[in-house]
Every structure is written in structure tokens, then in C-alpha cells.
Amino acid sequence: MNAPTRQTRYEEFSRYVEQRGPALLRMAYGLTGNHADAEDLLQAALVKTFFAWDRITSPHARDGYVRRAMVNTQISEWRRRHMEIFPTDEIPDQRVDDPTWQTDLADAVRRAVERLPERQRLTLLLRYYEDMPEAEIAARLGVSVGTVKSTISRAVAKLRHDADLAIERATS
């Protein structure tokens, strides 16, 4: 069987990006918390995917490859910036007209997750969106399994607390 030509490979990759781009952008947005960074993250992952395109033998493995490239790229970025992060009680203004989130519930969840510190947000996405076991998350982030468990626990507790406050405000 002949290897695909460059033109065929490029066309196949272009079709893939056209079809799966919006879903992949939502994943990138969940990892970064803002639209511009999400686009940059997805672009970097797609470049890596394009260079590995011939090695991805199963069409069903493509999304997984891109998601893994995004997670690895984001973890590397997080490690580079780790010492530059200064927590604050003030939440910056966020864009609310993002077309990738269609429902009020999804929007509320997205905003709640965005308010989490970056490490908690990344850990939750790896655990619940990527369905990674705690040991694998610990290895990826370079922390102990106990740290992963406590990070997830604190993040979920914060989300529950924020949801309770929102319900109180809505009912009062």
C-alpha cells in the first residue's frame, strides 16, 4: 500500500481540524481559562499533531493525541510560570459572549471553574475531563498522589461553596 502523498495528508489533516476544531477549542478553553490562550494552546497542539499525523494510525486516536498534546503543553507552561503567579481576591472582568458555551448552566460551571486557582483547575480537568487516575496526574504534575487528592478536594469544596452562595443570592 502506498504512503499518502503530502497533499493528501494535508487535506486529511485540514478536514480533521475543520470538523473537530470547535470541540478541541472548548477543551483548550477549559485548560487555560481564556479565549486567546485557548487558541494559542490549541494551535501549538495542532502543530505537534500535524508532525505526528502519519504515526497516528487510528482515526479514533486523533482527539486523544491532540488533547494529550494540549495537556502536556499547558503543564509545561504552568511549570514555567509557576513562580510568577500571584493569587488575588479580585476576579478580573471576563468575556461573557463566548460562543463555545451554549447554555446558562455550562456558562455558570465554566465561570466557577475559571475562578479556581490554576493548579486546582488543571487538576480537576485532568481528573474529570480527561478521566486520568490520581497517580497519573501526580506523575504529570510532578507532585505526590496526596497532593493531587487534596487539590481536588479543595477545588470541589470551593465549587460547592460558590454554588451554595449563588443559590442563596438567587433565592434572597
Q: Which three cell numbers stand for residue 20?
A: 473537530
> Rounded to an integer, what distance in angstroms lies between the CA atom of residue 157 and that of residue 140?
23
The pLDDT, as a whole number, for residue 82 is 59
> Would the pLDDT of 101 be above 60?
no
- The pLDDT mean for the chain works out to 81
So where are the chain's domains? 1-82, 101-172
The pLDDT, as a whole number, for residue 91 is 65
Instruction: Spell out the long-range contacts of 11-19 with Cβ–Cβ below 8 A and sequence spacing 24 or more.
Output: 12/53, 13/49, 13/50, 13/53, 16/62, 17/46
The pLDDT, as a whole number, for residue 81 is 64
For residue 141, give the nearest of 41, 94, 95, 74 by alpha carbon: 74
Residue 52: how many CB atoms within 10 A of its CB?
Answer: 13
Torsion of CA 91, 93, 96, 97, to 10 degrees: -150
CATH of domain 101-172: 1.10.10.10
> Would the pLDDT of 113 be above 70?
yes
Q: What is the pLDDT of residues 36-48, one digit of tens each?
A: 889 999 999 999 9
> Rounded to an integer, what distance in angstroms lies between the CA atom of residue 92 and that of residue 99?
20
The answer to whether the 1-82 and 101-172 domains have the same CATH topology is: no
> Looking at domain 1-82, does it have CATH number 1.10.1060.10?
no
The pLDDT, as a whole number, for residue 76 is 81
Q: What is the pLDDT of residues 138-158, one digit of tens each?
A: 999 999 999 999 999 999 999
